[in-house]
Structure 1
Amino acid sequence: MKSLKVGFLMVLIGLLILPAASVAETVYVSEDFEITMRTGPGSDRKIISLVQSGKALEILEKGNEWSMVRDPNGKEGWVLNRYITPNQPCAMVLGRVRQDFDVLSAKYEDLKDNFDQLNAQKKATDADLSQNQKDRDELSTAYETLKKEAADFLQLKQRHKQVSADLEAEKTLSAKLDEENMQLKRSRIIQWVLTGGGIMLVGFFIGLFSSSRRKSRSSLY
């Protein structure tokens, strides 16, 4: 994290301190000291003001050794060229870069917090998805089991229905056979009764006939 911030800071500094062409040239008082602004291009000329390092000056007239400039307050005068530079002093660049860096760091922290929150939400969502998938698999397994059991139940129900129908048919047949058996028994009983009665009747007539013959024979003697 620290190395990333340092690298980013160096890139910003490098971009900001590169020389750039400008239509209205602006120069700056070079590093960490004050220079004199004079009424003319010479050290013997009267000092108008002291210009601190980092102050922006507008070039009005460019000379070999001295240049006429205007400060932000509108005051005009001459300064030595060796004390001015078209590039902002490193301290100013560094200060601005640090400000930009602080802003970017704050944005980075916000983004990092958002990323951490989103990552946490993603983990929670993944966990919910995994649990939902597990529940779905369990429901699918239970459904398949229930479907198989339902099919088995339907087959068993159909088998029970068939067996019940066969049982009713057997009961009907058994009742019919019982009825036929009872009728046969009645027929046999009647037959036995009739046969016995017939035999008794034949015996009665035979006995009666025999008795008549014996009486007839007795009368002859």
Structure 2
Amino acid sequence: MGFVMRNFNMFKAVWLIVTCCFLFPSTLLALEGKYYVVPKAELPIRSGKGTNYKILAIVKEGTSVEVLREDGPWANVRLADGKEGWILSRYLSSEEPPRKQVKMLRDQLSLLKNELSSTQTRLAKLREQLKACEAEKEGCLAKQSDITNKYNLLLTDSKNVTTLKAKYEKQLLEIDRLKNELTILRRENSQLKNDQNVKWFLAGSGVLILGWIVGYLLGRRRKRRFSTLL
């Protein structure tokens, strides 16, 4: 019977603890984790839950503490150096203190300013590079235009060369034709000269023969006249 009563009392104790956990969860677990001391000049960390306990340390605004548990208006905390004590929970906040936030914002602003300055410097360099690229582009376009003009001139010259070549070949054919005609004319001229020489030879021969005949006839006539006179 005594054993049953002891078990029953233990069950009641466990049930009471569980009920308290469900009914008052904020009292036991609300402040567990990392918290910061809210704005105040200085706050004491005491060895117990009350102002009559010994002061173990003095913390300033923004000090980071680890809340181990909460009991009523007091919270059991651990400092960065490992010391543990009690502090009034109303001076704890899960948010960083304004001064620390301002400092963090200032640091972020300074970082952003540095990044902005670096970005502006890079932007200025990129602008210079862009100007250089644009100048190089203009130079390339000018060279391209010059090359295009030279190419078009070469095309025109090539067309002219083709035309001149055709004319040259035509002139060569004409020269060959004239050479052939000249050869024929020379042959004809040579033939004419030969024919003319023959004609002159025949004419000369005819004149000689005619002269001989005339002389012969005149000689006979004279002989007859002379015979008649005798």
Task: Tell whether the structures are fold-level matches, with TM greater than 0.5.
Answer: yes
Of residues 55, 61, 65 in structure 2, which corresponds to 1:53?
61
Of residues 102, 110, 122 in structure 1, which corresponds to 2:118?
110
**TM-score, normalised with respect to structure 1:** 0.73
CA distance in 2 between partners of 1:165 and 1:205 (Å): 59
**SS of structure 1 residue aligned to 2:69:** strand
Of residues 149, 152, 157 in structure 2, which corresponds to 1:149?
157
Q: Which runs of 5+ in 2 are unaligned?
A: 1-29
| Superposition misfits of 4+ residues, deviation over 4 angstroms | none
Letter in structure 2 aligned against 1:67: A
Of residues 163, 181, 189 in structure 2, which corresponds to 1:181?
189
Q: Deviations over 1:99-124 (max 9, x none)?
A: 34433443443343233323322331
CA distance in 2 between partners of 1:23 and 1:157 (Å): 105
CA distance in 2 between partners of 1:180 and 1:55 (Å): 134
CA contact (8 A) 2:39 2:97 kept: yes
Once the 2 structures are TM-superposed, how far is the Cα of residue 95 of structure 1 from its aligned partner? Answer: 1.7
Counterpart for residue 137 of structure 1: 145
Of residues 35, 42, 48 in structure 1, which corresponds to 2:50?
42
2:110 is the counterpart of 1:92 = no
Q: Which has the larger radius of gyration?
A: 2
**Cα distance change, pair 219–48 in 1 and its aligned pair in 2 (3 A):** closer
Letter in structure 2 aligned against 1:156: L
**Cα distance change, pair 189–201 in 1 and its aligned pair in 2 (3 A):** same
Once the 2 structures are TM-superposed, how far is the Cα of residue 218 of structure 1 from its aligned partner? Answer: 5.4
Letter in structure 2 aligned against 1:135: K
Counterpart for residue 122 of structure 1: 130
CA contact (8 A) 2:31 2:70 kept: no
Report the RMSD for the aligned CA atoms in angstroms: 2.9
Of residues 75, 82, 89 in structure 2, which corresponds to 1:67?
75
**SS of structure 2 residue aligned to 1:98:** helix
2:27 is the counterpart of 1:30 = no
Letter in structure 1 aligned against 2:146: E
**TM-score, normalised with respect to structure 2:** 0.71
CA distance in 1 between partners of 2:215 and 2:81 (Å): 178
Which fold has the larger relative contact order, with Cα–Cα distance below 8 Å and residues 6 or more apart in sequence? 1
Letter in structure 1 aligned against 2:72: N
CA distance in 1 between partners of 2:142 and 2:120 (Å): 32
Once the 2 structures are TM-superposed, how far is the Cα of residue 94 of structure 1 from its aligned partner? Answer: 2.2
CA distance in 1 between partners of 2:184 and 2:31 (Å): 127
Counterpart for residue 194 of structure 1: 202
Q: Deviations over 1:108-164 (max 9, x none)?
A: 433432333233223312321232132122112201211321331242134234324
CA distance in 1 between partners of 2:122 and 2:194 (Å): 104
CA distance in 2 between partners of 1:51 and 1:24 (Å): 19
Q: Give the length in aligned residue pairs.
A: 200
